[in-house]
């Protein structure tokens, strides 16, 4: 059996070692909440939805300022 996985873009997020562990955990929880809110607001849409990056990037950037993580958006096959 063969399956084709659609190509998509993903956030790649990294908390540097300079970020306190408790603060990083709090940041991860808020990032996860962005995903949950997206699914709720888009009738259960997946993070693989074409509009996920565009819809969520402003919120991710705001959290980046607060929590000091690094992120890129990468194309994944």
- Per-residue pLDDT of the chain in tens (77 residues, 90 and over written 9): 666 666 788 899 999 999 999 999 999 999 999 999 999 999 988 888 888 999 999 999 999 999 999 999 998 87
pLDDT of res. 45? 87
Q: What pLDDT is attached to residue 5?
A: 62
Distance between CA 9 and CA 20 in Å, rounded?
Answer: 28
The pLDDT, as a whole number, for residue 2 is: 63
The answer for 55, left when phi > 0, alpha when psi is -120 to 50, beta otherwise, is alpha
Cα angle value 13/23/44 (rounded, 5°): 50
CA of 61: how far to CAs of 19, 21, 70, in Å? Answer: 16, 20, 10
Instruction: Give the predicted TM-score (pTM) of the model.
Output: 0.84
């Amino acid at each position: 059996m063969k399956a084709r996985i659609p190509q998509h873009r993903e956030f790649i997020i990294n908390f540097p070692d300079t970020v306190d562990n408790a603060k990083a955990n709090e940041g991860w929880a808020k990032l996860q909440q962005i995903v949950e809110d997206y699914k709720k607001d888009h009738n259960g849409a997946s993070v693989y939805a074409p509009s996920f990056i565009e819809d969520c990037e402003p919120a991710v950037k705001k959290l980046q300022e607060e929590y000091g993580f690094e992120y890129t958006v990468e194309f994944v096959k």
